[in-house]
Amino acid sequence: MTPTPADSPEKETPFHQRMLRLWPYFGKQRAVWAIAMLATLVAACTEPLIPALFKPLLDDGFSEKAFPLWMVPTAVIGIFLIRGIAFFISQYALARIANDGMQAMRDALFQRLMHAEMSVFSKQSASALSNTLVYEVQTGASQLISALLGLSRDGFTVIALIAYLFFLNWKLTLLVFIVVPGSAWVIKKLSKRLYSLTRDSQAATDNLAYVVEENVLAHRVIRLHGAQSDQLNRFKQLSQRLRRLALKSTIASAAMSPLTQVMAAIALSAVLVVALIQSRAGVQGVTVGSFVAFITAMLMLISPIKKLSDIATPVTRGLAALERGLLLLEEVDTEKEFDHTSNPPAPPPLNPESSNSIELLDVSVRYTTDTHLALDQISLKIKKGETIAFVGPSGSGKTTLINLLPRFVLPSEGHISIFGTRIENWSLKHLRSQFAMVSQDVIMLNETVAANISLGTAVDRNRIQQCLDAANLAADIERLPQGMDTVLGHNAAQLSGGQRQRLAIARALYKDAPILILDEATSALDNESERLVQDALQKLMLGRTTLIIAHRLSTIEHADRVVVMQRGLIVEQGRHLELLQAGGIYAKLHHKVEPAA
């Protein structure tokens, strides 16, 4: 399987640089960030107030110098009220940042895919792309922002508590810091291990999803060949690998907390011993209240320190997931568009002297993975309104030649003109508006009949009805539950093959483009369906330049010209009967494919 961005070698990039790469998506709302951090700081500063209450309570609360009783509940309720409000504000602000950033990144990813070079869809599976765009971005953003909330809250809490400890007894506080270097080392080592395992798990998840996707799409072939057990073993092997990686990640994640807690326990033990020594030695300022306040504050340190050690796991996983989206944004090349504005310029002026719809001059194409030319110095002129059929064995270059015209493929050499204007002077929007296509592999969206027919343009119900009538499909659509407002489901599976072909013809009619591409649009249909489709195609072809990629040679007998291709070259061209009488390659193909003709 072709590697995805997740399979790329791990880059040794510092943490802060990796975070900065996300700033364009998650850093736009600076005011919200400021509110979130301020609210988190306020919530953290309330933490030391709890142990601070113990000192006066224990030292003076039970003596004649006792303060009024109403101050105690007022102070306690006030502290928790302030903390609750501050925590709510910080959590809401960071949730807003996460969702806005996630939407911005998803929008950027989907826009990138909509303008990506065609090669990306052959290099990466649909499951890997959808997994990155939908699941990884959401999971990564949720985990990362949640971790940042915990990081800021617990980090500020640790700072506030340590500051209070220094205020109470700086000598004892210094002992607390014996836990810091060890904890930092543990977190760094295990985080690096966890990051690597997360990247491997992403790739394994993609491979597993790809197997599921393949088996869903090819379910008939799998059953026909009795390959269920082989596919099950294949699935089990990949699932087992994903399970092993998940267990390794759990070990790395789970080891952080107990190791840091053991170090914290060592620090606590040392503090208790030194505090008791100071108390017995009569050191000034060491009272029961101050000792209890110090121990309470120190015990309160254990929880945020533990949470900080646990934060490494979601931060690592969140970063790895979001970086996968970033890699897709950075590594997927977009089509070389002539204009990049939201309002592209008007179409280029057409050459009124040109009688040709299409002209190719010395055009060659070489794919990066191939050693030979897919097309070799092709020159061809197609007049306006002419019907041209392209025939030849598989791999002869028919599809590549057709894909050149709407710039799905770029020529390595030579020039192509549409209506007398070179295609590099067209914007992609206007260039592709000149083409409509009907192929044997009909693709429909999970939308209404009307939306599928008017794809990319405004819905005109009267025009849609006219197109349905012309495509011999109006009666079939009227029988659907909501007529043309019926949602078709996954690739219009509720329609028959012939109905789906005629729906594609209705779409082409609605677009009303001057150049029509037919890719064996009547293959695999029964006789009645083929008759209806052929009738609809005849209406569609009227007044249009038509290019037919033919596999069944009987379907092109009435073409104005037949272009025979072999190994990237045009080897013959002429009318059907002329080529048969010439006894060349076309005649051999015709007799070989259709001996009864």
Question: Measuring CA to CA, how many Å separate 553 from each of 369, 385, 548, 559?
Answer: 31, 21, 11, 11
Of the two residues 254 and 486, the one the predictor is more confident about is 486
Q: Answer yes or no: is pLDDT of 180 > 70.
A: no
Cα torsion at 9, 12, 16, 18 (round to 10°)? -10
Q: Is 564 helix (H, G, I), strand (E, B) or coil?
A: strand
Compute the distance between CA of residue 267 and CA of residue 203 in angstroms, rounded to an integer.
Answer: 41
480: confidence class by pLDDT, cuts 50, 70, 90: confident
**What homologous superfamily is domain 15-331 in, according to CATH?**
ABC transporter type 1, transmembrane domain (1.20.1560.10)
Of the two residues 21 and 527, the one the predictor is more confident about is 21
Give the rounded percent of residues in the chain with a pLDDT score beyond 70: 80
Q: What is the mean pLDDT of the chain?
A: 78
Q: What is the helix (H) or strand (E) element at residue 228, kind and residue range?
A: helix 228-280
pLDDT of residue 4: 43
Q: Answer yes or no: is pLDDT of 138 > 70.
A: yes
Model confidence over 365-407: pLDDT tens digits? 988 766 688 898 999 999 988 999 998 888 888 888 998 998 8
Model confidence over 15-27: pLDDT tens digits? 667 777 778 888 8
Determine phi and psi for 376, rounding to 5 degrees. Answer: -125, 100
Buried b / exposed e over 559-591, threshold 16 CB at 10 Å, is bebbbbbbebebebbbebeebbeeeebbeebbe
Model confidence over 318-340: pLDDT tens digits? 777 787 777 777 766 666 554 44
pLDDT of residue 179: 63
Mean pLDDT of 196-209: 81
Question: Measuring CA to CA, how many Å separate 466 from each of 177, 456, 482, 492?
Answer: 80, 18, 18, 21
Q: Answer yes or no: is pLDDT of 185 > 60.
A: yes
Compute the distance between CA of residue 525 and CA of residue 501 in angstroms, rounded to an integer.
Answer: 9
pLDDT of residue 10: 43
pLDDT of residue 359: 92
Domain 356-593, second-level architecture? 3-Layer(aba) Sandwich (3.40)
Mean pLDDT of 35-49: 88
**Burial degree of 138 (CB within 10 A; 0-12, 13-18, 19+):** middle
Rg (the chain; Cα; Å): 35
Of the two residues 12 and 536, the one the predictor is more confident about is 536
Furthest CA-CA distance within the chain: 124
Question: Measuring CA to CA, how many Å separate 232 from each of 204, 228, 235, 239?
Answer: 16, 6, 5, 10
Model confidence over 258-276: pLDDT tens digits? 776 777 677 777 777 777 7
Q: Answer yes or no: is pLDDT of 85 > 90.
A: yes
Compute the distance between CA of residue 504 and CA of residue 439 in angstroms, rounded to an integer.
Answer: 8
Q: Answer yes or no: is pLDDT of 423 > 70.
A: yes
List CB contacts of 484: < 8 A, sequence separation 6 or more: 448, 449, 450, 453, 461, 464, 465, 468, 477
What is the helix, strand, coil percentage profile of the chain, to 5?
A: 65, 10, 25
Model confidence over 108-131: pLDDT tens digits? 888 877 777 766 776 776 767 777
pLDDT of residue 361: 93
Model confidence over 208-225: pLDDT tens digits? 887 887 777 676 667 666
Mean pLDDT of 29-44: 89
Handedness of CA 303, 309, 313, 314 (dihedral sign): positive
For the chain, the structural domain boundaries read: 15-331, 356-593
597: confidence class by pLDDT, cuts 50, 70, 90: very low
Model confidence over 286-321: pLDDT tens digits? 677 777 777 788 778 777 876 776 676 777 777 777
Compute the distance between CA of residue 112 and CA of residue 169 in angstroms, rounded to an integer.
Answer: 58
- Tell me 14's DSSP state: -
Residue 475 token pair: 């009666």
Q: Answer yes or no: is pLDDT of 510 > 60.
A: yes
Give the rounded percent of residues in the chain with a pLDDT score beyond 90: 7
Model confidence over 451-478: pLDDT tens digits? 888 888 888 899 889 888 888 888 888 8
pLDDT of residue 339: 46
Reported as half-sphere exposure (CB side, CA atoms, 13 A), residue 188 has a value of 8
Mean pLDDT of 518-525: 68
Q: What is the helix (H) or strand (E) element at residue 582, kind and residue range?
A: helix 576-582
Of the two residues 440 and 577, the one the predictor is more confident about is 577
Contact 379, 569 (CB under 8 A): no
580: confidence class by pLDDT, cuts 50, 70, 90: confident
Q: Is the pTM of this model over 0.85?
A: no
342: confidence class by pLDDT, cuts 50, 70, 90: very low
Residue 408 token pair: 């799905």
